[in-house]
A and B are shown apart, each in its own frame.
Chain A
Amino acid sequence: MTMTRATQAKLWYAQRLSAMVLAGCVIVHLGVIVYATRSGLSAGALLARTRGNVAFAVFYGVFVLACAVHAPLGLRAVAHEWLHWRGGAADAVWATFALALVATGMRAVYAVTAS
């Protein structure tokens, strides 16, 4: 099935919006990493802070969704341009990849935030 030009335009829009979200998420995430590694907290102490933390769960949930939108669309463009791999089968692979990112990412968010 061929994707319509309007759908392609919407996917471009989705990638641009997700890039804006990612820009903010990455900066906050880098701050979290620096804090977590320099504060001398043990893994147990870190988990004690993240478990049950709704703000933490929402933030990383949004981060995962933005990645799941952005990364497959970027790979789709790279595969098209460098490997000339395109069409329905390729798009099915990228859709599956997006779902895999959601599943694995959300599983990780759940693991560190579920109390």
Chain B
Amino acid sequence: MESTVDVRVWRGAAQGRFVRYEVPRRPSQTVLDVVTYVQRHLEPTLAYRFACRVGMCGSCAMTVNGVPRWTCRTHVAKAVRRGRLEIAPLAHLPVVRDLVTDMTAFFDKWARARGQFQGATSRAAPVARIAPETPQRRAVDAGIECIGCAVCYAACDVVRWRHDFLGPAALNRAWTLVNDVRDVAQAARLDAVAGDAGCHACHTQGACTERCPKGIAPTAGIAGLKRLTARAAVERS
């Protein structure tokens, strides 16, 4: 193991540059450890975001050597290339400062995809009983662990090409609700996720599925949405 790692960190906003820092190598060191070292010892004004440090909150995602990752769960040993780490903010989102992005558009798209549960009963009603082995519940299970880190969104080429594309996370959320038998807003949701800015723009390249730190396959959910929305559009006409 080298005694130091050559780190280049993005400084600025949309306009900015990479600044080089020399950070001591430590055993089991994560990329988040590196960023924290830079801020605490070398560059106190460095802006970055983190909270839990254990892969639960999804706030520390950054672009590490060109790949969107949770920095807290990425060991330096895994990401380093020729002794170098290039750390940039997540792609496809406006940069507020340094490594911090504005995630407003990302979460607004969840709302646009009707990512809110809409039930027909009040909280006084008894808890619905959903058999865990039904196909719908299994589909929900496959996608429900998303924590909204936007790694898939940053990995998606279609998001880069089509700025209004809802993106893998919002469509995955919609897919879990489409399979929620308690939800009563299905027709409106299928309409919201259809078309050129919705699931039909996906090229099934699978970058989201490849990069998702939770092992979710948004590509599979999007394929399901394509089938259901196209069928609904044909049946309505």
Residues of A whose CB lies within 8 Å of any CB of B are 3-10, 12-13, 16, 77, 80-82, 86
**8 tightest A-B contacts by CB?**
A5-B195, A8-B195, A81-B161, A12-B200, A9-B233, A13-B230, A9-B194, A6-B233
CB-nearest residue of chain A to B192: A5
Residues of B205-235 whose CB lies within 8 A of A: 226, 229-230, 232-234
**Distance in Å: Cβ of A17 to nearest Cβ of chain B:** 10
Identify which of B192, B195, B197, B226 gathers the most chain A CB atoms within 10 Å of its CB.
Answer: B195
B161 and A82 contacting across the interface, CB-CB below 8 Å: yes
Residue contacts A-B, CB under 8 angstroms, 14 given: A5-B195, A5-B196, A6-B191, A6-B195, A6-B232, A6-B237, A8-B200, A9-B229, A12-B200, A12-B230, A13-B230, A13-B234, A16-B230, A81-B162
User: Other than the known A8-B194, A9-B194, A9-B230, what 17 A-B pairs have Cβ atoms closer than 8 Å?
Assistant: A3-B195, A5-B191, A5-B192, A5-B198, A6-B232, A6-B233, A7-B233, A8-B195, A10-B234, A13-B233, A13-B234, A16-B230, A77-B201, A80-B162, A81-B158, A81-B161, A82-B161
Identify which of A3, A7, A81 gathers the most chain B CB atoms within 10 Å of its CB.
Answer: A81
CB-nearest residue of chain B to A15: B200
**Distance in Å: Cβ of A81 to nearest Cβ of chain B:** 4
The SS class assigned to the B binding surface is helix
Indicate if B236 sits at the interface (CB-CB under 8 A). yes
Chain B contributes a number of interface residues (CB within 8 A of A) equal to 20
**Distance in Å: Cβ of B172 to nearest Cβ of chain A:** 19
User: Which residues does chain B contribute within 8 Å of A10, judged by CB atoms?
Assistant: 230, 233-234, 237
* C-alpha gap A4/B198 in the complex (Å): 12
**Distance in Å: Cβ of A3 to nearest Cβ of chain B:** 8
B194 and A6 contacting across the interface, CB-CB below 8 Å: yes
CB-nearest residue of chain B to A5: B195
CB-nearest residue of chain A to B228: A9
User: Which residues does chain A contribute within 8 Å of B229, judged by CB atoms?
Assistant: 9
* C-alpha gap A16/B230 in the complex (Å): 11
* C-alpha gap A84/B236 in the complex (Å): 30
* C-alpha gap A82/B230 in the complex (Å): 25
B237 and A80 contacting across the interface, CB-CB below 8 Å: no
User: Which residues does chain B contribute within 8 Å of A80, judged by CB atoms?
Assistant: 161-162, 196
* C-alpha gap A87/B54 in the complex (Å): 45
CB-nearest residue of chain B to A82: B161
User: Which residues does chain A contribute within 8 Å of B196, judged by CB atoms?
Assistant: 3, 5, 8, 80, 86
User: Which residues does chain A contribute within 8 Å of B198, judged by CB atoms?
Assistant: 5
User: Which residues does chain B contribute within 8 Å of A81, judged by CB atoms?
Assistant: 158, 161-162
CB-nearest residue of chain B to A8: B195
User: Which residues does chain B contribute within 8 Å of A9, judged by CB atoms?
Assistant: 194-195, 200, 229-230, 232-233
* C-alpha gap A104/B173 in the complex (Å): 45
* C-alpha gap A61/B234 in the complex (Å): 25
